[in-house]
């Protein structure tokens, strides 16, 4: 087994990575994030996470995470809200290109030892290829994700829904990792090779 | 000599920054493209209206297969845009002999071939063979609402090879200045002789306006305004106005085209192009006699089914003079009016 692992560098790396993630997330429990329509008929990604940390720690870690994600937030008491962006692509075999920019609202509430958040108000702005062969946003078009197209374009819409769910799931993984990790270690100084020190 | 020094300085500047870069973010290769084909019926029973593409009468004909590759590594990127077929060869790009010809086989098949370097978020430089920055319509059928093309498009440049610098003051304002070959030239034997500039303003979300100029000898000088405003999710209004003067005032053109488009559903949109085009005294342009004008109305629908767009289109042209054929047996222009129907299928990926 050991020999097999040594021979396959990539699987070993992936295994280690998974073990790392599992160990990091072992301390927290969460209701699995769900992507479905809420009571207002809006697509929503909703998740409750139990994280055994004081509420001010949860708050400061969340602030750091949202800043890293480029989400500007407004805080009010034990609640936080902001706006964020995903970009989704369309691919088939070897071709792939940006399909749409998805903007969403972010809401979060936290208490001692747990927090919950949801992403909602997803709206889509499509990309279009310009004269230089590059994809650019079609500014001025903003379609709520809930707006179902006719049967001719349903397949694309369903693919976009899956892409948004995937993007929300990846957001969730990044967030839970950021919330669970300990304070970032000080950046280590680059090591200098000393010929006399051996 | 000055241009040589400038190009040398730009190259040294680029090389220095490239050597200093520490960002190695690698994006995957993006491949996209399109395929298009069409049927056209001209009511004079022969090819009549001067449009760059959709030229063949009573024939199911080819547009082009278009393949575009793009890749970014750190701040550097390239675009390679290849096209095969009448639309992407003899009708829009040059062969190796630098002449438009549908019979010559040695086309380079290249619509765009350029490299870019983003020195900062606001400033970038691009060099190579690029789709022109002038005008509203483009060669790719994916970029146009109407399938046939305007007189303004057909008369302006298609590509500009050169080096250009882009600077964005903000999301709302940006400029471009560049040095270019003569219009539509892979290689410029009289030196890099054209100067081009563009001012982009975006007063509100969805509204962009480009003021363009390209000038040089022997290309001449063209001023161009291209603007479009996505007024609502359903309604878009575009405008193109241009004025071109040949060197020594030997001729030119001026004109304007308005493009209202309305999306009734996600699958069905209607668009009108109303164009006025005048050839200045001196030279006839696309059969429009010197000093006379033509008005063209084109009504197109876009029926979208995922990546496929069907474009049925009706077009009516009306010249000040007799610039069209009345029928198949007409030996010379003998009518002021012409009309055609076309149905195009464009698949993009």
Asked if B184 contacts B111 with a C-beta cutoff of 8 angstroms, the reply is no
Helices in A40-191 by DSSP H: which ranges? 55-69, 154-180
Interface of B with A in 41-70 (CB under 8 A): 68, 70
**Which residue in A131, A142, A156 is closest to B306 by CB distance?**
A156
* Residue A81 distance to chain B (closest CA, Å): 24
Task: Single out the residue of B183, B136, B175, B193 nearest to residue B159, CA to CA.
Answer: B183
| DSSP E strand stretches across B85-150 | 110-118, 123-131
pLDDT computed for residue A13 by the predictor: 47
Tell me whether B79 touches chain A (CB under 8 Å).
yes
Q: How many folded domains does chain A comprise?
A: 1
| DSSP E strand stretches across B119-251 | 123-131, 159-168, 173-180, 194-201, 207-216, 220-230, 235-245
Task: Single out the residue of B119, B223, B124 nearest to residue B166, CA to CA.
Answer: B124
Could A131 and B143 be called an inter-chain contact, meaning their C-beta atoms sit closer than 8 Å?
yes
Cis peptide before B218 (omega within 30 of 0): yes
**What is the DSSP-derived secondary structure letter of residue B307?**
T
In chain A, which residues have their Cβ closer than 8 Å to the Cβ of B30?
96-98, 135
Burial B121-137 (b: 16+ CB within 10 A, else e): eeebbbbbbbbbbbbbb
pLDDT computed for residue B97 by the predictor: 65
**Which residue in A96, A130, A156 is closest to B143 by CB distance?**
A130
Classify residue A15: in a domain, yes or no: no
Residue of B nearest to A89 (CA): B30
Beta bridge partners of B308: B305, B347
Classify residue A51: in a domain, yes or no: yes
Using 70 as the pLDDT threshold, list the residues of chain B that sit under it: 1-27, 95-106
What architecture (CATH level 2) is domain B35-348? Beta Barrel (2.40)
Residue B126, Cα to own-chain centre: how many angstroms?
A: 18
Classify residue A109: in a domain, yes or no: yes
ipTM score above 0.85: no
Task: Single out the residue of B260, B122, B117 nearest to residue B200, CA to CA.
Answer: B122
In chain A, which residues have their Cβ closer than 8 Å to the Cβ of B31?
94-97
Classify residue A128: in a domain, yes or no: yes
* Element of type H or E holding B14: helix B2-20
Residue of B nearest to A144 (CA): B233
pLDDT computed for residue A79 by the predictor: 83
Residues ≥6 apart with Cβ < 8 Å to B210: B133, B198, B199, B200, B224, B225, B226, B227
Could A134 and B79 be called an inter-chain contact, meaning their C-beta atoms sit closer than 8 Å?
yes
Query: Per-residue pLDDT for chain A (198 aa), expressed as one digit of tens each?
Result: 333 434 444 454 444 444 444 444 444 555 566 888 888 889 999 999 888 888 888 888 888 888 888 888 877 777 888 899 999 988 776 667 889 999 999 999 988 888 899 999 999 999 998 888 888 999 889 999 999 898 888 998 999 999 999 999 999 999 888 888 755 445 556 667 767 766
Residue of B nearest to A151 (CA): B305
Classify residue A2: in a domain, yes or no: no
Beta bridge partners of A117: A47, A108
For residue A89, CA distances in Å to A96, A102, A146, B71 come to 7, 11, 19, 15
For residue A31, CA distances in Å to A28, A58, A118, B60, B246 come to 10, 17, 13, 58, 71
**Domain range spanning residue A46?**
26-180
* Residue A140 distance to chain B (closest CA, Å): 4
Residues ≥6 apart with Cβ < 8 Å to B124: B116, B117, B118, B165, B166
Classify residue A1: in a domain, yes or no: no
Task: Single out the residue of A125, A60, A35, A48 nearest to residue A87, CA to CA.
Answer: A125
Contacts across the A-B interface (CB distance below 8 Å): 88
Q: How far apart are alpha carbons A67 and A71 in whole angstroms?
A: 6
Classify residue A17: in a domain, yes or no: no
Task: Single out the residue of B186, B28, B176 nearest to residue B107, CA to CA.
Answer: B186
pLDDT computed for residue A151 by the predictor: 87
The CATH number covering residue A69 comes to 3.30.530.80
In chain B, which residues have their Cβ closer than 8 Å to the Cβ of A135?
30, 32
């Amino acid at each position: 087994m050991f020999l097999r692992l040594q021979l396959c560098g990539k699987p070993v790396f992936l295994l280690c990575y998974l073990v790392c993630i599992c160990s990091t997330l072992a301390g927290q429990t969460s209701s699995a994030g769900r992507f479905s329509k809420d009571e207002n008929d809006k697509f929503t990604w909703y998740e409750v996470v139990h994280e055994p940390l004081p509420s001010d720690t949860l708050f400061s870690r969340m602030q750091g995470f949202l800043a890293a994600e480029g989400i500007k937030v407004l805080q009010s008491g034990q609640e936080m809200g902001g706006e964020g962006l995903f970009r989704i692509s369309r691919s088939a075999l070897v071709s792939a290109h940006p399909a749409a920019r998805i903007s969403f609202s972010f809401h979060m509430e936290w208490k001692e030892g747990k927090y919950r958040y949801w992403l909602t108000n997803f709206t889509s702005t499509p990309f279009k290829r310009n004269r230089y062969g590059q994809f650019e946003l079609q500014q001025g078009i903003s379609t709520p994700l809930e707006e179902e197209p006719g049967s001719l374009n349903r397949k694309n819409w369903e693919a976009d829904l899956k892409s948004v769910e995937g993007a929300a799931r990846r957001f969730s993984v990044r967030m839970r990792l950021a919330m669970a990790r300990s304070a970032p270690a000080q950046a280590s100084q680059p090591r200098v090779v000393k010929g006399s020190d051996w | 000599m000055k241009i040589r020094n400038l190009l040398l300085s730009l190259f040294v500047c680029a090389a220095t920054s490239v050597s200093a870069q520490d960002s190695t973010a690698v994006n995957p290769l993006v491949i996209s493209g399109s395929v298009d084909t069409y049927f056209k019926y001209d009511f004079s029973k022969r090819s009549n209206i001067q449009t760059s593409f959709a030229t063949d009468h009573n024939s199911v004909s080819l547009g082009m297969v278009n393949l575009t590759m793009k890749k970014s590594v750190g701040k550097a990127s390239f675009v390679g845009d290849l096209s095969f077929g009448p639309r992407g060869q003899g009708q829009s790009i040059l062969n190796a002999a630098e002449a438009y010809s549908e019979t010559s086989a040695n086309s380079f098949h290249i619509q765009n071939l350029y490299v870019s370097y983003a020195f900062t978020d606001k400033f970038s430089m691009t060099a190579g063979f690029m789709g022109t920055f002038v005008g509203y319509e483009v060669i790719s059928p994916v970029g146009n609402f109407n399938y046939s093309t305007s007189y303004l498009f057909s008369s302006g440049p298609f590509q500009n090879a050169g080096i250009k610098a882009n600077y964005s003051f903000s999301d709302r304002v940006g400029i471009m200045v560049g040095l270019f070959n003569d219009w539509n030239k892979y290689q410029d034997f009289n030196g890099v002789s054209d100067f081009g500039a563009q001012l982009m303003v975006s007063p509100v979300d969805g509204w962009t306006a480009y003021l363009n100029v390209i000038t040089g000898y022997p290309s001449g000088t063209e001023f161009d305004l291209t603007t479009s405003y996505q007024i609502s999710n359903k309604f878009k209004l575009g405008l193109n106005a241009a004025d071109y003067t040949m060197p020594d005032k030997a001729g030119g053109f001026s004109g304007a085209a308005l493009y209202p488009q309305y999306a009734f559903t996600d699958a069905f949109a209607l668009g009108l192009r109303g164009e006025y085009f005048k050839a200045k005294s001196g030279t006839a342009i696309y059969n429009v006699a010197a000093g006379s004008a033509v008005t063209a109305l084109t009504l197109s629908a876009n029926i979208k089914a995922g990546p496929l767009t069907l474009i049925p289109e009706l077009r009516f042209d009306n010249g000040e003079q007799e610039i069209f054929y009345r029928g198949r047996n007409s030996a010379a222009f003998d009518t002021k009016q012409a009309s055609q129907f076309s149905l195009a299928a464009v698949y993009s990926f």
